[in-house]
Amino acid sequence: MSLPPSRLDLATPGPEGVDEADFVVVGSGAAGATVALCLAEAGADVVVLEEGPHVPVEARAGDVFTTVKRQIRDRLSGGMTGRAISPVIQGSAVGGSTLVNSAIVWRLPEDVAFQWDRLPGLKGAFPYDELVRYMERIEDDLGVGEVPRDRMGRNATLMEAGARALGFAGNVIRRNVQGCQGSGRCLQGCPNAAKLSLDLTYLPRAVGMGARIYENCRVSRLTFAGAACHGVEAELLDPESRRPLRPFRARARRGVIVAASAIQSPNLLRRSGLGRALPRLGDHFTCHPGTGVAGEFDEPVRMWSGATQAWESAHYRPEGFKLEAINLPPELAVVRMPGAGREMMHRLARFDRMALWGFQVRSDARGTVRPMPLLGGDMIRFTPSRRDMGVAARAIKLLGEMMFAAGARKVYLGVHGLPDEVHSPDGLRILDRMELDPRQVHMMASHLFGTCVMSPDRSTGVVDTGFQAHGLPGLYVVDSSVFPTNLGVNPQHSIMAVAMLAARRIAEGARVSR
């Protein structure tokens, strides 16, 4: 039985600016909300600290600019530097990225779990049978199921037709949604409470068991007694200006759980002075870089009508990429349109006939994450490998072929150095002869991994198989930063299942029981 959407009652900081609990959880996204609920279910007293605001259903904005300002980290100004600059999209609100993602649910691929199991020192660290049980629970809790056919929208059904014409497999997307109205606004926070994001489900349930959740609370550093972590120092932020208002401290009787993402988790540990104790902090960063290909059709597509994402194909995942249909509002879709000025406006006048399909690469490149010196913020260095760019070229060509097979009259490839418009499959053949440079394709990353990887010792990673930082009792990291590799599929489901595994191990280690 799925959890009904519930109103979230937040904690109000007292005048002394202090709270104390068994566990302090930093972050309220897929990992933080899940580990908080599971520890509360086990009988622990839990405090959750979230840097971003709580955005109730009735306050969710329809325009992209308000969403970016309020719910996206750094207002979408953060990015990866390397051979090219690429945006990094992260939610920064109560519920984390579950508030602003497309609700796509993919089980941890079995081949990935087996790959992890063969890594030195990780035999049995991610037991697949146990993770499957957790994934089954999550699917039941969050009402996971296929997008109804009458809510798919034409953007998705055209992609399905293009794949069928080319003879490869795909599927209707499974999502944690109930009662989808097809408003195409998942990325702004569902205005109908149909997307069962964790601010509507796991967090209210945890509060019902005694957990306390603070919004607009930015953790600045961890605190220690010797090597043992016993709390955090934070600052309460003004919800509009994001400037600090006053300090806040949370003491942890049993442990601090950092669940702040593959970017913020390692950097919080470094800012807490742990760079020497944990020399691999921020290493092994990887992601799923990707972008989209647009096509113009003779008949209306109306991307604003239908589920944000409703059809996908993992047929080519063994080759390193996955395909998805994605509905975007004009403010975001415009990045896939070539030209400027009058030429751009002429193309946007036909926006109702435009389809947009994307790909994500299971990258084999590795980068680093560090705090930005002096200025603050996060410094991400990552360059897709030569192999990654070859996969991207293959995916772009295939999406173009699918567009024409589905009846597109022209395709916008979005590759610098190629024609703005391609009018037939013959125009795609140039991609067979190209060695794409990262600077030619506007790719972005929304699935982030590594940086606090699980390993047998601190010379190769950050946390042990109990999710505790090596040599630092009471400090745990539980999010996709501990993943030894990326997945090649959307990660929310895997993050939540691994968080349940971590919660069991942490509770057992701390002898928590109801």
Residue 359 binned pLDDT confidence (cut-offs 50, 70, 90): very high
Residue 324: closest CA among 340, 307, 341: 307
* DSSP assigned state of 485: S
Four-residue CA torsion sign, 117, 175, 135, 60? positive
Instruction: Report the alpha-carbon distance of residue 449 to residue 457 in Å, rounded.
Output: 19
Tens of pLDDT, residues 129-151: 999 999 999 999 999 999 999 99
pLDDT at 331: 74
Same domain, 265 and 304: no
Other C-beta atoms within 10 Å of 442: how many? 17
Q: Which residue has the tokens 């690469």?
A: 361
CA 68 to chain centre: 15
What is the domain range of residue 408? 146-177+286-365+385-442
Same domain, 275 and 298: no
Among 442, 457, 486, the domain-final residue is 442
| Catalytic residue ranges | 447
**How far, in Å, CA of 361 to CA of 339, rounded?**
26
Residue 76 in this model has a pLDDT that exceeds 80:
no
**Do 47 and 111 belong together in one domain?**
yes
Q: In which band, very low, low, confident or very high, does the pLDDT at 183 lie, cut at 50, 70 and 90?
A: confident
Calculate what percentage of the chain has a pLDDT beyond 90.
Answer: 81
CA 241, CA 218: separation in Å to the nearest integer? 14
In this predicted structure, the answer to whether residue 121 has a pLDDT above a threshold of 70 is yes
Token pair for residue 339? 């030209």
* 420: nearest Cα among 323, 313, 308, 344: 344
372 located within any domain: no
Quick one: average pLDDT of 329-353? 81
pLDDT above 80 for 332: no
Q: Which of 104, 154, 172, 191 is nearest to 303 (CA)?
A: 154
Query: What span, in angstroms and rounded, lies between the C-alpha atoms of 290 and 5?
Result: 32
Mark whether 60 and 136 lie in a shared domain: yes
* pLDDT range class, residue 514, cuts 50, 70, 90: low
Tell me the Cα Rg of the chain: 22
How many other C-beta atoms are found inside a 10 Å radius of the C-beta of residue 381?
14
DSSP-assigned letter for residue 177: B
Look at residue 221 and tell me whether its pLDDT is greater than 90: yes
Q: What is the pLDDT of residue 348?
A: 82
Question: Does the pLDDT value for residue 491 go beyond 80?
Answer: yes
Same domain, 217 and 350: no
CATH code at position 43: 3.50.50.60
- State the alpha helices, DSSP H only, in 190-300: 202-208, 261-271
DSSP 132-162: HHHHHHHHHHTTEEEPPGGGS-HHHHHHHHH
Q: Is the pLDDT of residue 219 over 90?
A: yes
Q: Is residue 87 part of a domain?
A: yes
Tell me if 103 is assigned to some domain: yes
Q: Do residues 330 and 260 both lie within one domain?
A: no
Average pLDDT over residues 3-23: 95
CA distances for 25 relative to 48, 66, 261, 273, 408, angstroms: 5, 28, 12, 19, 49
- If asked whether residues 156 and 208 sit together in one domain, one would say no
Residue 468 belongs to a domain: yes
AA letter at 17: G
pLDDT grade for 94, boundaries at 50, 70 and 90: very high
Mean pLDDT of 370-390: 92
With a cut of 70, say whether residue 468 has pLDDT above it.
yes
The tens digit of pLDDT for each residue in 405-451 reads 999 999 999 999 999 999 999 999 999 988 999 999 999 888 999 99
Structure tokens at 225: 């007694």
In a domain, 257, yes or no: yes
Please determine, for residue 334, whether its predicted confidence score (pLDDT) is greater than 80.
no
In this structure, is residue 53 part of a structural domain?
A: yes
pLDDT number for residue 485: 97
Decide: residue 316, CB within 10 A, 0-12 exposed, 13-18 middle, 19+ buried. Answer: middle
d(CA 148, CA 414): 31
Same domain, 201 and 300: no
SS3 425: helix
Provide mean pLDDT across the span 64-83: 82
Residue 2 predicted with pLDDT over 90:
no
How many domains would you assign to the chain? 2
Each residue of 394-413: pLDDT tens digit?
999 999 999 999 999 999 99
Q: How many other CB atoms are there within 10 angstroms of residue 489's CB atom?
A: 22
Residues of the chain with pLDDT > 70: what percent? 99
Do 47 and 88 fall within a single domain? yes
Mean pLDDT of the chain: 94
Residue 139: count of CB within 10 angstroms of its CB: 17
CATH label of the domain that carries residue 392: 3.30.410
Strands in 368-371's sheet, in edge-to-edge order, are 86-87, 79-81, 378-381, 368-371
Q: Residue 73: what pLDDT?
A: 86
Note whether residue 240 is domain-resident.
yes
Residue 337, sorted as left (phi over 0), alpha (psi -120 to 50) or beta, turns out to be beta
Which of 427, 442, 457 is the last residue in one of the domains?
442
pLDDT of 78 > 90? The answer is no
- pLDDT greater at residue 37 or residue 341: 37
**Residue 513: what pLDDT?**
64
Does one domain contain both 205 and 172?
no
Q: Which of 401, 417, 442 is the last residue of a domain?
A: 442
Claim to verify: residue 91 and residue 169 sit in the same structural domain:
no
pLDDT above 80 for 176 = yes
Residues 241 and 157 grouped into a single domain: no
Instruction: Evaluate whether residue 63 is within a structural domain.
Output: yes
Residue 75 has pLDDT above 90, yes or no: no
